[in-house]
Structure 1
Amino acid sequence: MLRTRIIPCLQLLDQNLVKTIQFKRPSYIGDFANTARIFNELEVDELCLLGIRNTRNKTTPDFKVLKQVANECFMPLSYGGGIQDFETAKRILAMGFEKVVLNSASFRNPQLITKISEYFGSQSLIVSIDVKKGLFGRERVYSCSGTRTERYSALEWAKSVEEKGAGEILLTSINQEGTWEGFDIGLVSRIANAVNIPVIAHGGAGSIKDISAAVKDAKASAVALGSMVVYQKKGMGVLVNFPDRTELKKYLSNE
């Protein structure tokens, strides 16, 4: 059995599953319930669902959708998007989700990290950190679906959320997201080696070799996959799938 968690990460927009490229141009993937059902049948390690425009559009999570997913799936579930207060997080966890994911709210209301962690345990909380390289390769952290620049570096913010009680970090490279060109190994490595909580690498996976690089070279504790699990291959049509477990074991056996 693999020690590394391989987590399908699905994007939800207006009750539809979509896939973006560098946080832009969302393309329709399919029905959320059917897709969740397929991953349930594939017995994936964990499933992450992100409402990608909730905070930006000032909308709350779609609780009807979340309830359907929670009723359909038996693997551990996490959800992020539009969670701005403790009561919303509490409601989602009460539905059967094991974890909530905070991004924008962690900047506007950082004490929410501590409150959720102290009440439910740090294992129930993932803080999502979205990072983008600008001119001259300068990295900045973004919120609100990659539209708002924050004043922290990725390293500063990762250490800060760990101190506040985050149980895990979902680390996304905006530049790499949806490109199939591999993870930002340097970014993942810097953060994974600077904190003592699990770092989930996300953004850019195009092959099992990319997964291996994130785990073996960059020391990620887990990997979140988007394009690889909803498309046949780069440039080809939609196909909900999961990497071949024999191949995964081959590349990750010495982790």
Structure 2
Amino acid sequence: MTVLAESHADLTTTRGPMRVHLFLPQGGGARPALIFYSEIFQVTGPIRRMAAALAGEGYIVAVPEVYHEFEPLGTVLAYDQAGSDRGNELKFTKEIASYDEDTAVVAAFLKAHEGCTGKVGSFGVCLGGHLAVRAGFHPDVTAVGAFYPTDIHSHTLGAGRNDDTLERLKSATASFLFTWGRQDPHVPVEGRRLIHQTLEDHGIDFEWHEFNAAHAFLRDEGPRYNPAVGRVGMAMLLRFFAEKLG
């Protein structure tokens, strides 16, 4: 039986403290760790449940609050129009360098954690899928699970809306798992083809899965939730991390 402990750590960044929510399996020796990047709404109920499920499979899971320099620590944006508007506003206000610094801080924290094997992966959904991919550019992150990541194909993440994620993917050394909903309006087929072709052309270690599902099909609240596809997707993710992280 795996028993989980939940806590948080407030880590230092150059842009102020960043709260990181921790889901820790108890006992059983050292374990690999995952940085889990949330949607634009930060650490909501569905995100906490996904984090707990991953921890229950034997991973140390750390969920950073991505907008820590703009919102009070502990802020959760609602799944409504106001929450969506605020989350999208901040997505294009935060600097790319700040997103990357957050990754470096969390990765260093996990590598030094007494319960970690030293192996670190990243996982994310929506905005978090994009951040998980960027985490894969950090030398300590060796496996990336990205579910319906937004803004990669259009290179529009961050202040100035001009990120370099697609370009940096061309020389990435991490392993990637991409999972998409074919009915996702945020990443049309042309965008998916561009990302896939970039990975193929540059010999990146990746796998690719598409389902007849909407955006946010993993989120277990709201009309777009697809539990059947979600179960398959999570099973593939767990198999992938088991292969790449042990």
By the TM > 0.5 criterion, same fold?
no
Q: How high is the TM-score relative to the length of structure 1?
A: 0.39
Give the TM-score normalised by structure 2: 0.40
